[in-house]
């Protein structure tokens, strides 16, 4: 009889064709998907060619999503996108998304049904851990690992220990998935889950929508996590049924599975939270940040650019104007989200509030374009990182928050809560 295992261990065991695995074990696994973008694909393509194989292992199991510097911001980014485009055509990659069809990769792939429960996914982007919200084991890797994945459809893993975060009770009004994960990172630190799987459970997690769950899993890497998993339930099934292009497999942690540590958190203890510079772990309640004036507010990214995020921001901005000293940039994460924003009248709200609205792109999140900060400027952002110089000049500052807080701050001219507008 197999030893009791966590979700992460079960998925890895299945893909290694083993009955059981244990933390620390080195295993070779079959992959369901290999992902890369316009920054990481060119390096992966170069390394793939060095391996000497002519064709990728399976053109239906590779996703190439140009989303960081597209639509191209300059000649260099245009050349990178061209390399990805040509490789996709040459290899017959089915999941290649050109400008006009693309979106921010970690919002696009779940939406399009490319990823699902039980999958083992590697991506040459650290926020590949997002898909754990669907009950998958997905993790970021370097471009060389992605190249080997292109060629062989396999990767080596050291089985990680799992940390369990049980969040029970009712969340306070205005507290979102983003606040939950910021609170956890603030509690354990940016290396608190180093090379460990993070599993999120409890009644508060079960009460969350899919968009909120995806935000939580997205930021597992900001605590050092190898993956961030949430158990499949009726909300997950409702999202995946009729959407995923392949049948999905549910894996549930055994009741007596061994965890490296169990954190029990009362949902009511989690406030609307903001991360101060220059680490996602430098968190404080938003209520303690009201003296921070801002120059820019960015609402979007692979963390918070989904439809529910847009609705939260629009609910705050409706009938209001962005502060004259603030630039508010709204970026729906996919074309589908963009279209739905138009259909629901959210675009009118954003434009009437004097926001700038962009086509889907990662742009400002990584200091790419569409919102670079000058020396000494401050931005509140719904993205996932606020390292030194992350969005521009090394003396600029980035504060991380939920969409509602970013929208309220844009109107106030300083960090604040929606209720501060009343």
Tell me the average pLDDT across 356-363.
Answer: 94
Q: Could you report the per-residue pLDDT of 250-302, keeping only the tens digit for each?
A: 999 999 999 999 999 999 999 999 999 999 999 999 999 999 999 999 999 99
Determine the pLDDT at residue 2: 74
Determine the pLDDT at residue 253: 97
Q: Could you report the per-residue pLDDT of 302-338, keeping only the tens digit for each?
A: 999 999 999 999 999 999 999 999 999 999 999 999 9
328 is in an annotated binding site: no
pLDDT class of 1 with cuts at 50, 70, 90: low
Q: Could you report the per-residue pLDDT of 146-198, keeping only the tens digit for each?
A: 999 999 999 999 999 999 999 999 999 999 999 999 999 999 999 999 999 99
Write down the residue that tokens 């390394």 correspond to: 47
**What average pLDDT does the chain have?**
96
Determine the pLDDT at residue 422: 82
Tell me the average pLDDT across 80-102.
Answer: 95
Angle at 72 between CA 67 and CA 78, to 5 degrees: 105
Domains of the chain, first to last: 7-265 (3.30.499.10), 273-420 (3.30.499.10)
Q: Could you report the per-residue pLDDT of 24-46, keeping only the tens digit for each?
A: 999 999 999 999 999 999 999 99
Q: Determine what percent of the chain is predicted with pLDDT higher than 70.
A: 100
pTM of the model: 0.95
Q: Quick check: bond before 278 cis, omega within 30?
A: yes
* Nearest one of 16, 107, 28 to 63, comparing CA atoms: 107
302 is in an annotated binding site: yes
Distance CA(157)–CA(149), nearest Å, equals: 12
Determine the pLDDT at residue 344: 98
* Nearest one of 125, 89, 128, 91 to 109, comparing CA atoms: 128
CB half-sphere exposure, 68, CA atoms < 13 A: 20
Determine the pLDDT at residue 315: 98
Q: Are 162 and 8 in contact (CB under 8 A)?
A: yes
Distance CA(377)–CA(361), nearest Å, equals: 22
Distance CA(70)–CA(2), nearest Å, equals: 48
């Amino acid at each position: 009889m197999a030893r009791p295992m966590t979700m992460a261990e079960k998925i890895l065991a299945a893909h290694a064709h083993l009955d059981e695995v244990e933390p620390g074990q080195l295993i070779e696994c079959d992959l369901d998907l290999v992902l890369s973008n316009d920054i990481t694909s060119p390096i992966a393509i170069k390394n793939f060619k060095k391996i000497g194989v002519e064709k990728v292992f399976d053109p239906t199991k590779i996703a190439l999503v140009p989303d960081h510097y597209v639509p191209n911001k300059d000649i260099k980014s245009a050349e990178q996108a061209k390399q990805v485009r040509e490789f996709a055509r040459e290899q017959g990659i089915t999941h290649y998304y050109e400008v006009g069809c693309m979106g921010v990769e970690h919002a696009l792939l779940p939406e399009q049904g490319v990823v699902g429960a039980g999958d083992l996914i590697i991506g040459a982007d650290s926020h590949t851990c997002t898909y754990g919200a669907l009950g998958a084991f997905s993790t970021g890797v370097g471009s060389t690992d992605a190249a080997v994945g292109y060629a062989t459809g396999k990767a080596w893993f050291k089985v990680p220990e799992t940390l369990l975060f049980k969040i029970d009770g009712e969340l306070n009004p205005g507290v979102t998935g983003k606040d939950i994960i910021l609170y956890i990172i603030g509690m354990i630190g940016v290396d608190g889950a180093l090379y460990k799987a993070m599993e999120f459970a409890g009644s508060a997690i079960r009460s969350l929508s899919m968009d909120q769950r995806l935000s939580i899993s997205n930021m597992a890497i900001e605590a050092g996590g190898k993956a961030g998993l949430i158990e499949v339930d009726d909300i997950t099934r409702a999202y995946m049924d009729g959407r995923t292009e392949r049948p999905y497999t549910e894996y549930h942690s055994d009741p007596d599975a061994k965890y490296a540590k169990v954190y029990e958190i009362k949902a009511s203890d989690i406030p609307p939270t903001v991360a101060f510079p220059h680490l996602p772990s430098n968190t404080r309640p938003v209520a303690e940040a009201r003296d921070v004036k801002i120059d820019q507010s960015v609402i979007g990214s692979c963390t918070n650019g989904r439809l529910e995020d847009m609705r939260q921001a629009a609910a705050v901005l409706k009938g209001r104007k962005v502060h004259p000293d603030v630039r508010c940039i709204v970026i729906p994460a996919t074309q589908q989200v963009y279209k739905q924003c138009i259909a629901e009248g959210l675009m009118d709200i954003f434009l009437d509030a004097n926001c700038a609205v962009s086509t889907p792109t990662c742009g400002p999140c990584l200091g790419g374009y569409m919102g670079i900060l000058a020396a000494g400027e401050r931005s509140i952002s719904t993205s996932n990182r606020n390292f030194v110089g992350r969005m521009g000049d090394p003396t600029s500052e980035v504060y991380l928050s939920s969409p509602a807080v970013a929208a309220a701050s844009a109107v106030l001219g300083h960090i604040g809560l929606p209720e501060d507008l009343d």
